[in-house]
Amino acid sequence: MTDTATGPSLEPALCATAQIDADHPAVRAFAHEHGRGGDERERAVALYLAVRDRFRYDPYRIDLSPAGMRASAVIERGYGWCVPKAALLAAACRVLGIPARVGYADVRNHLSTERLRQALLTDLYLWHGYTDILLEGRWIKATPAFNIELTERFGLLPLAWDGREDSIYHAFDKAGNRHMEYVHQRGSFDDVPLVQIVADFNRHYPRLVRPDAAIGGADFAADVERETR
């Protein structure tokens, strides 16, 4: 759990932005449909579960354009990866008047597909996205990236969130194998720092983002199923 919220105004964490498009009709409809509960914490948890499980995590189809990185793009496409899924959770919270930001960390991920490893040529993932949500006077981290089916397939511990404690990836999987290491915290932002993310991805992951990317039109779910049998 992070420090008590301070600062002159929470308005930037409540407004729609270029990427956290909380004013988009699909985002507003999603927030009102799924953000049910008796108080802000319950509504935020309900939104977390909806973003986590209703949209498949898919790191093969990364679109770094402004349109592709908007929160609403996850709803339109039915899938996303950690950065836009975190933006969607932040946007949905803002719709309901719950202050939310997007946060990032560089992580070392020990579980991946062979195709993704070949595309990245590293197990260090820059700009892993999560959502920072203000509840009961504290900013609390929530990570909605991996849908429950994916965690079960990989043998990971489900990433739950109760709205009271930080929800970040477990260091080990169910079998005790190394899963995730947080290497560097980049902090929280009122909008997705798209220019910085795109620059770093182009520099460090050219095989992932270039037009003839090695990952091509492959099916992430099919690769996961084949490699985890």
Q: What distance in Å separates the CA atoms of residue 22 and residue 95, rounded to the nearest whole number?
A: 6
Q: What distance in Å separates the CA atoms of residue 209 and residue 166, rounded to the nearest whole number?
A: 31
User: Which segments of the chain are extended strands (E)?
Assistant: 56-57, 79-80, 100-109, 124-135, 138-142, 180-189
Helix axes 82-95, 25-34, angle to 10 degrees: 70
> How many other β-carbons are positioned within 10 Å of the β-carbon of residue 102?
27
Q: What single DSSP character describes residue 157?
A: P
* pTM (predicted TM-score): 0.92
Q: Which letter, b or e, does each residue of 62-78 get, where b requires 16 or more Cβ atoms within 10 Å of its Cβ?
A: beeeeeebbbbbbbeee
* pLDDT tens for the 229 residues of the chain, in order: 444 555 558 999 999 999 999 999 999 999 999 999 999 999 999 999 999 999 999 998 899 999 999 999 999 999 999 999 999 999 999 999 999 999 999 999 867 888 888 888 898 999 999 999 999 999 999 999 988 888 888 888 778 899 999 988 777 778 787 778 899 999 999 999 999 999 999 999 988 877 555 576 788 889 988 988 8
pLDDT of residue 218: 86
Contact residues for 8 (Cβ-Cβ < 8 A; gap 6+)? none
pLDDT of residue 5: 53
pLDDT of residue 210: 72
Which of 188, 186, 185, 138 is CA-nearest to residue 163? 138
Which of 64, 175, 50 is CA-nearest to residue 111? 175
> How many other β-carbons are positioned within 10 Å of the β-carbon of residue 168?
18
CA distances from 36 to 13, 30, 48 (A): 20, 11, 11
Show the domains of the chain with their CATH numbers. Answer: 11-227 (3.10.620)
pLDDT of residue 1: 47
List the Cα angle 12/18/24 in 5-degree steps.
Answer: 95
